[in-house]
Amino acid sequence: MAKKNIVDTVISGGGHVVILGAGASIASTIKNPEPSGKQLPSMDNFIEVVGLKDIVEKLPPDLRDSNFENLYSKLHAANPKSKEIQEIEFRVSDYFKSMKLPAVPTIYDLLVLSLRSKDLIATFNWDPFLYHAWCRNYNCGDSPQIAFLHGNVAIGYSKELREAGYPGKHPKDSGVYFEPTQLLFPVTNKNYNQDDFTIGQWELTKDFMHSSTTKRLTIFGYGAPSSDVEAIRLMSEAWGDPSKRNMEQVEIIDIRPEEEVRKQWDKFIHPGHYDYGTNFFDSVIAHFPRRTSESWFCHYLPITTEDAFIGSHPIPKEFKTLQEMWNWFKPLIDQEEKFKAESPTK
């Protein structure tokens, strides 16, 4: 009965923002690896994993660095149009754009299916996993909005149409080319106002974070490196003073110690209003899929004790096929469709 109450309860309000970092992509493929065997690199092993060592070995000693972001910044400062910069940008894009999700359900699939159109997933990752998961689950209920804060190999942008699309795709009716989005920024000058696409992605994210209807913020596998100080500033300004967001709940999914990540995200958290877990399946998203806003309202603002959620409706940890996964989510989606039909203005 408790699970049925959760499935059947649908409201129109609320909102949930999820910020993704590299840890989310790693978590999504750690059990079911990328089909071709490609690794997701860190900035410290990036040069070896992506295959840039031959370029680096030919550089003057003062331009070399074992950390990829530092290396790129040095090269950019020396000559942003150099042949080395161009070759690095080509290889980075080529490495990531050929990546694919495995054919079986992943955490990215579960994440996309567990949120709705009133929610937003914003990613800092270059890999195409979020986009692929969003596409292959698009017809299974209404989907969350997605934003790519550092560009993405699966996304291009047309200045003429002011629209995003698959890179290089030529619409039949216009022949417009979707320019690949910029992936690399010098670490010392990450300017998120330098092109229309990036500006739009950040504006969408900031609008969601600033909105009074957004009651939940989840930070999944994002380490907030020192190179992203501008990104943290923009998000913090959008979220606002945590003392004035005394009802919002922040959730952190991270394998690092709780004390470390709690301190790192302190400027976003009202005292006591945060949750911490090391695994996606520990999260409110996994315990209340497609009902994260409902769980917030029923926890903090129940009209009667009967309105409060009892227990949870956790996603199973094992789905053998996409169809099995879709079948599990169907009762939740059916209730949403019923709610829309009965309350068309909502």
pLDDT over 70 (residue 172): no
Place of tokens 């400027």: 267
Q: If pLDDT is split at 50, 70 and 90, which confidence band does 11 have? A: confident
CA–CA distance, 244 with 236 (Å, rounded to integer): 13
DSSP 161-175: TTEEESTT---TTT-
Helix, strand or coil for residue 100? Answer: coil
Is pTM beyond 0.75? Reply is yes
Nearest to 65 by CA among 227, 179, 197, 222: 227
User: Largest alpha-carbon pair distance within the chain?
Assistant: 70
Three-state secondary structure string covering 227-264: HHHHHHHHHHHHHCCHHHCCCCEEEEECCCCHHHHHHH
- Which of 37-41's residues contact partners 24+ apart within 8 Å by CB, and which partners? 38/95, 38/98, 38/99, 40/127, 41/68
DSSP 122-152: EE---SSHHHHHHHHTTTSSPPPEEEEBTB-
Structural Rg of the chain based on CA atoms: 21
Residue type, 68: F
CA 167 vs CA 35, 89, 135, 173, 247: distances in Å: 22, 15, 15, 17, 41
What does the pLDDT look like over 322-332, one tens digit per residue? 999 999 999 99
pLDDT over 60 (residue 176): yes
Q: Nearest 5°: phi and psi at 22?
A: -60, -30
**Token code pair at residue 207:** 């609008």
Higher pLDDT, 110 or 185: 110
Residues pairing with 120 in the sheet: 17, 145
Place of tokens 């952190």: 252
Higher pLDDT, 325 or 9: 325
DSSP state of 72: H
Q: If pLDDT is split at 50, 70 and 90, which confidence band does 174 have? A: low
**8 A C-beta contact, residue 14 and residue 294:** yes
What does the pLDDT look like over 260-313, one tens digit per residue? 999 999 999 998 889 999 999 999 999 999 999 999 888 776 555 555 677 889
